[in-house]
Chain A
Amino acid sequence: MGVRARKAAYGLLMLVFAFSIIASGCSKKENAEGSGSPSASPQANSSSPSESGSASAGPEPFEISIFMQDPGPIPTENNRIYKKIKDELGVTLKEEYLVGDAEQKLGVMIAGGDYPDLITANTKLVAAKAVIPLEDLIEKNAPNLKKHYEKVWNQMKDPNDGHIYWMPNYGVYQGEFKTTQHYGPAFFIQKAVLKEFGYPKFKTLDEYFKLIEDYKAKYPEIDGQPTIGFTTLAYDWRDWPLRNAPEHLSGHPNDGGVVVDPNTNVASLFEATDIAKPYYKKLNEINAKGLMDREAFAQNFDQYLAKIASGRVLGMFDQRWNFQQGEDSLISQGKPERAYVGIPLVYDPSIRDYYVDRPVLNLNNGFGITVNAKDPVKIIKFLDTLMDPKWQKLFSWGEEGVDYQVGANGLYSRTPEQRKQQEDVTWKQANKAEALFRFLPKLEGKYPDGNADGPGNQPDEFFANLKPIDQEVLGAYGYKLWTDFFSVPPENRISYPAWSIDLVEGSPAKVANQKMKDLAFKYLPKAILSKPGDFDKVWAEYGEQMGKVDTKAYLDRVNEILKWRQENWSK
């Protein structure tokens, strides 16, 4: 027995020994890996003492983990901006980007309580008490943010409990602001198509699809691949390319799943009603002509972007920011004529288009701080520092002397080479922090020194950056800016926009919303792809199924909040 015990003890010892060897092997590897990337940082440290005086006075290292509900573009390991943040602020950003379905990822995250420090907004996280109220944090520690959000402070409060959970990433402007590009919804068409037919002016679906039809007949292939007339997307939360067009065609602004009567402030559904029917009937017609991308309804977001980046999609309904990555790729491939112009189509020329709206606060968007963050004060101070124009410019313009020059009049400009660089998707991954900046609170409009919030909005830069084809398009229509294609928007309704309403997790309204979406994803493709003779039958069935959904619960919730906003947001 004694011998055996000793043997067992030896065995155990050997096991522990082996384990520790493996463990130390792993950690060594980790160290080796770690020393690879920040090899630049010792240099930075050694150079900084000469400037700041003492080595220990440098910022103390701090790590912030971030999850972004966006697939990227994912920055490279040695990204210039992240490196600068690390060197100057001592903050290392550990980012995770979305792969696949956002709602599902968050659902799993919540079930496990496994949150990063900073997270992009989703109402689910509020319901799960995963994020902390920010109002006190901002008031005490973040003067820049406080000043930035002052005007919209009340709007940022959650209607359910009056706390602020998210820092909206868009919609807070400084000074007079005129956008050069419309990033919202529109019917898009390739510049090449407009050029081919001598830049016609048009307002209706018929004219739009006629152009696409004629172009496709003339060029059945683009770069060796079959031309796609019109595509769409019905994937995950990106459902508007398929669902939202009718509200715009009928002259309503982007209220998401409802249209709101501006006089009574009451929302009603447009899906599966006569407001929507003519549009899908039209799509059914163009499908019969072979213009519709029949695989559109089975594709995911990546496939959609890839299709657009291939340059063979003539048109689609979408919001510009959504397919921007695909278009960026077209530009960097040197195919600017395959990029898109947004056109505000309407059912009837007598309807005034309402695609462009006045800036709205991007509620339920941007970053929030989770309950897992160990030091929220430090995080909010970090975000506050980034609100400084110096950092904002680094994100939007880049580094002075590297990415832009300051002219004699104090205005920034870029050289042609610098502009060219900015079109290169891979260069941007190493030198820009686009995805991060998209979600950060930001100064929009003009910086205090008179420069615009980015090269795209700096008039001189905007004009200089136009490609010959762009100048030709704008010149032919007699416009100066891309937004000139659209009507000047009226003042926003106070309760606008309805799409940012939180339907409350697990509530009947949310269930109804999911069912409406399921039905739309099922019946709209079916209606579009059916034989023209069967369209009415499928449409009737769609209406019937919609009748079974508890749409009242959904509308009640929407109207409740619209009313609440009307009362609380009025000044």
Chain B
Amino acid sequence: MQSTVQTKEVAPQPARRTGTFWNRMVRQRQLIFMSFPMLFYILLFAYAPIWGWLMAFQHFRPGFSILNQEWVGLDQFRFLFEDDAFLRVLRNTLGMSVISLVLGFVTAIGFAILLNEIKKSGIKRTIQTISYLPHFLSWVVVTGLVATSLSTEDGIVNIVLLKLHLIEEPILWLGEGKYFWGIVGASNVWKEVGWNAIIYLAAIASIDPSLYEAAEMDGASRYRKMLHITLPGIKPVIVILLILNIGWILNGGGFEIQYFLGNGQVSDWSETIDIFVLKYGLKIGNYSLGVAAGIFKTVVSIVLLFAANTIAKRLGEERLI
């Protein structure tokens, strides 16, 4: 694939260097036309709204134009960073993000590799379908299920633990901060493991079968093959996904699940940046605070993305940029 593209590019070069760019543009005009809608979409929805960042430096009151507002400098940022709660919500956001990220990767990769070892395709497909079905449930439904199964009254988790005599009396799972991160991580895994595994299964499928055959000839066991052929085979995919996900770490830390499952008692462990902004920005009419937090998140995300990319480059792996 790569080599054919290169030969095509190389061929016209000696003729006229300046013309090549335009020649290529003309030759690939279909591709360019096809990319227009997406480009337009990104400009309209990702870049055009950026001028709204002005709001972060105002005391914005809706109903008036954005230029007709009270300017307050960095007050919103000061409020954000000086508040005791901010460090806590930042910690929670990062904590839950990292847990979800790590658990998400490990379980999805493990699941994909194990699933790949099943040779009967009917069973394999059935398991795969069942495992990714929860992905299509919305968080409202999932958190409802989680809350019901963790209930102290008739929740299955407490019932099972009681029957096994592991606990004396039902545990108030959603009433104690120390359990919250774990519950979030586990719910995430339950909902997404099947879905996340799909891409790894695809990557595994594209590994050259001759490698396995050769390994078999050399007497490699099943575990050896997993470790030395399957895993290295999907390594590029893993790295790319990791970079992509790290960019999302502050945003992907979640809002919905914490919002639905959290309550006053566990707020020390459940409140993320988004929930903080919702409470002190949107709910009490201070939209500027929301924008300030948004800017902060964007900057951190970009830094993380570049950092991950650079590390990947150093390690000689696939990278994004």
* Residue positions of A touching B, CB distance < 8 A: 103-104, 107-108, 110-111, 113, 124, 127-130, 226, 234, 294-295, 297-298, 505-506, 510-511, 513-514, 518, 520-522, 524-526, 529, 548
Contacts and interface: CB of A to CB of B under 8 A. Distances in A.
A124 B281 CA distance: 12
B147 A128 contact: no
A345 B4 CA distance: 86
A521 B279 CA distance: 13
B266 to A, nearest CB: 8
Nearest to A127: B285
Contacts of A548: 84
Nearest to B286: A506
Given A111-B282, A514-B280, A525-B175, A129 B64 contact: yes
Given A226-B153, A295-B151, A295-B172, A104 B283 contact: yes
Nearest to A237: B283
For the complex of A and B, 10 pairs with smallest distance between CB atoms = A521-B264, A505-B285, A129-B63, A107-B282, A506-B286, A128-B62, A103-B283, A298-B263, A525-B265, A510-B284
Interface in B47-74: 59, 61-64
Interface residues of B, number: 27
A293 to B, nearest CB: 10
B166 to A, nearest CB: 20
A514 B279 contact: yes
A128 B250 CA distance: 30
Q: Which residue, B64, B264, B265, B267, has most C-beta atoms of chain A within 10 A?
A: B264
Contacts of A111: 62, 282, 287
B292 interface: no
A337 to B, nearest CB: 23
A294 B172 contact: yes
Given A111-B62, A128-B61, A525-B265, A511 B280 contact: yes
29 contacts: A103-B282, A104-B283, A110-B285, A111-B62, A113-B62, A127-B63, A128-B62, A129-B62, A129-B64, A234-B264, A294-B175, A295-B151, A295-B152, A295-B153, A298-B175, A298-B265, A505-B61, A505-B285, A505-B286, A506-B59, A506-B285, A511-B280, A514-B283, A514-B284, A518-B264, A518-B267, A521-B263, A521-B264, A548-B84
A524 to B, nearest CB: 8
Nearest to B262: A298
A297 B285 contact: no
Nearest to B271: A518
Contacts of A525: 175, 263-265
Contacts of A294: 152, 172, 175
Contacts of B90: none
Interface string B78-118: 00000010000000000000000000000000000000000
B162 to A, nearest CB: 14
A432 to B, nearest CB: 29
Given A107-B282, A107-B285, A514-B283, A295 B61 contact: no
B81 to A, nearest CB: 15
A226 B155 CA distance: 14
Q: Which residue, B152, B172, B284, has most C-beta atoms of chain A within 10 A?
A: B284
A317 B283 CA distance: 26
Nearest to B175: A298
Contacts of B203: none
Contact of A510 (B84, B265, B285): B285
A486 to B, nearest CB: 31
A426 B157 CA distance: 35
A111 B285 CA distance: 10
A514 B275 CA distance: 13
Nearest to B285: A505
Contacts, number: 92
B204 interface: no
A234 B263 CA distance: 9
Nearest to A545: B84
Contacts of A129: 62-64
Q: Which residue, A107, A514, A524, has most C-beta atoms of chain B within 10 A?
A: A107
B177 to A, nearest CB: 10
B278 interface: yes
Contacts of A297: 175, 263-265
A525 B174 CA distance: 12
B169 to A, nearest CB: 10
Given A297-B175, A514-B280, 11 more contacts: A107-B282, A110-B62, A110-B285, A127-B61, A127-B63, A128-B63, A129-B62, A129-B63, A297-B265, A511-B284, A525-B175
Contacts of B64: 129
Nearest to B282: A107
Contacts of B61: 127-128, 505-506
A195 to B, nearest CB: 26
Contacts of A510: 284-285
Nearest to B278: A104
A128 B60 CA distance: 10
Contacts of A124: 285
A314 to B, nearest CB: 16
B268 interface: yes
Contacts of A234: 263-264
Contacts of A526: 265
Q: Which residue, A129, A226, A506, A518, has most C-beta atoms of chain B within 10 A?
A: A506
A234 B174 CA distance: 15
Interface in B159-213: 172, 174-175
A510 B61 CA distance: 15
A514 B264 CA distance: 13
A107 B153 contact: no
A427 B283 CA distance: 36
Given A294-B152, A522-B268, A108 B282 contact: yes
Nearest to A294: B172
A66 B174 CA distance: 36
A391 to B, nearest CB: 33
A19 B300 CA distance: 43
A240 B263 CA distance: 16
Interface string B273-302: 000001110111111000000000000000
A132 to B, nearest CB: 12
A522 B282 contact: no
A5 B64 CA distance: 49
Given A129-B64, A226-B153, A529 B175 contact: yes
Nearest to A129: B63
Contacts of B151: 295
Nearest to A290: B169
Contacts of B84: 548
A147 B280 CA distance: 41
A321 B198 CA distance: 51
Nearest to A514: B284
Interface in B118-170: 147, 151-153
Contacts of B263: 234, 297-298, 521, 525
A107 B280 CA distance: 11
Contacts of A127: 61, 63, 285
B129 to A, nearest CB: 31
B273 to A, nearest CB: 15
